[in-house]
A and B are shown apart, each in its own frame.
Chain A
Amino acid sequence: MPAYSLDLKREIEALYFEVLDKKFVKTSCSNCYKDAVMEMYVYLNKYNKMKEKTLYALKNGALLQLGFGNGNMITNANLTDTLAEKYLRMNPNGHIYFSKLPENWKNRVFGKKSKKKEQ
């Protein structure tokens, strides 16, 4: 396998973040840069776009479901701002499962409702 130059490695790391919205982590695996390129390729091939940048992120181990009996699972892999806010609207105490929330998340989630109450 060809050795990657330092410049190429940095470029792959930057692209990885752009495409998958997560940090590239070097492991002791000998093919981790090749794996990263493959992972980006598979994602782009499947979704035809880069992963949406999100304001929200879940803690590891947390898995959300939108309502009882709803089979759709939400993990960091498919979390979007819309889904996160929909979940928080239904489960206001569910913020404990998030590792990343925008500072104004309450306004974003309950904004309209709060304004109506104030009026």
Chain B
Amino acid sequence: MGVCDYSIKRDIAPSCDDPIVPGVEQVGVIFNRSDIDFSTVTFSETHKNVIETLALKAGAKGYKVVVYGNSPFNGTNTALATGTYRNTFTNTVNMVILDNNPDVCSDVIDGLANGEFVVILENKSKSLNATEKGYSAFQVYGYYQGLNAAEIANDKYSEETEGGWSVSLTETKVPKSALFLYKTNYETTKAAVDSLTAEAV
């Protein structure tokens, strides 16, 4: 049994080359956690919080989540959760679904209410000037425990959702502060993320 290395390993100072930028892009990807083909998952040897390959099982596909506005996925965050012997993190991913019809309710909302999901969001802060260009662009939520529904609501007179759905998914007891998807460079990683939502062959 090994002893985990919890020491810090670099200066704590903001990057001058890649100043932090708040927010995420308007398009994300969601898929059922049970569709991950874990035999294909590889982590980076040099960056412990980076997944290099994440493929879905044969025939499975992911789905796009599009949230418009100046602050899409507003409320998405990661917070420390203190434990008796070990501290962990809680991930929250929020989204709005500006639609409400029988297909949306059966194919999306009912699934979200009871399933376990993984969401990949593209940060506006991408680290494009780093040696590994774009390695902070794509952040993965729900890989360890799966994101579960914490709140789902449909308010007919909501000023924000205008009669659509608001959804909040959470993942608790996450051992790492963040997980990123990154392979080779930004373009390659983007192509891998895009391929998640292609029609499965």
Contacts and interface: CB of A to CB of B under 8 A. Distances in A.
Instruction: Report whether chain A binds chain B.
Output: yes
A65 B52 CA distance: 12
A60 B188 contact: no
B88 interface: no
A72 to B, nearest CB: 10
B195 A75 contact: yes
Contacts of B59: 99
Nearest to A61: B55
B183 interface: yes
Interface in A86-119: 96-97, 99-100
A63 B192 contact: yes
Interface in A56-84: 57-63, 65, 71, 73, 75-77
Given A76-B201, A97-B55, A60 B60 contact: yes
Contact of B199 (A23, A62, A65, A96): A23
Contact of A59 (B40, B184, B199): B40
A61 B54 contact: yes
Contacts of A28: 103
Given A28-B103, A60-B197, A100 B58 contact: yes
Interface residues of B, number: 28
A13 to B, nearest CB: 13
A22 interface: yes
B183 A63 contact: yes
A61 B192 contact: yes
A73 B189 CA distance: 10
Interface of B: 37, 39-40, 53-62, 103, 183-184, 187-188, 191-193, 195-201
Given A60-B195, A96-B39, 8 more contacts: A22-B199, A23-B199, A57-B201, A59-B60, A60-B60, A60-B62, A63-B53, A65-B184
29 contacts: A22-B199, A23-B199, A28-B103, A58-B201, A59-B40, A59-B60, A59-B200, A60-B55, A60-B60, A60-B61, A60-B196, A60-B197, A61-B40, A61-B56, A61-B62, A62-B40, A63-B183, A63-B191, A63-B195, A65-B184, A73-B188, A75-B192, A75-B198, A76-B195, A76-B201, A77-B198, A96-B40, A97-B40, A99-B200
